[in-house]
Amino acid sequence: MEIMQLIGVCIVSTSVCLVIKKERPEIAMFIGILTGALILFSVVSKLNFIIESIQDLSKKANIPTMYITLIIKLIGIAYLMEFAIRLCNDCGETNISSKLEFGGKIMVMTMSFPILLSIMEMILDIIP
C-alpha cells in the first residue's frame, strides 16, 4: 500500500470508529486493532529492501554479520514493542502496557549484551 492508501484506510477507520463508538465500543476497538494490524503488515514488507541494503554495506565495511543482524533485530523488537504498547494503551490496558514495556527493555538489554562485551574486549585489547 502506498502512503495515500494508508492514510485513506486510517481516515475511514477513524470515521467508522467515531460513529460506532457510542453504541458499540467493543466493535470500535476491534476496528482500531484491525486497522493497526493492517498498517503493520503492509509496511513490514517494505523493510526487506532496507535490511538487504544494510547487510550489503556491512559486508563492504567488513563488519561481522552477527552484529548487523543483532542490531536489526533490536530495532525490530523496539518498533514491535512500541506498537504493542500503544495498542494496549489504546484499549485502556495501561497495566499490561507497562509490563510489556518493562519486558521489552529487558529483552533489548539482554540481546545487546554481546555487543557490549565485544566493545569491552576491544577496549581491553587497546589498553596496555
Instruction: Evaluate whether 108 touches 74 at the Cβ level (below 8 Å).
Output: yes
Gap between the Cα atoms of 56 and 17, Å rounded: 43
For the chain, the average pLDDT equals 87
**pLDDT of 68:** 84
Q: Where are the domains of the chain?
A: 1-45, 47-128
Instruction: Evaluate whether 46 touches 91 at the Cβ level (below 8 Å).
Output: no
The string of pLDDT tens digits covering residues 28-83 is 888 988 998 888 888 887 888 888 888 888 888 888 888 888 888 898 899 889 98
DSSP states of 35-50 = HHHHHHHHHHTTHHHH
Gap between the Cα atoms of 74 and 122, Å rounded: 22
Gap between the Cα atoms of 80 and 78, Å rounded: 6
Mean pLDDT along residues 11-37? 89
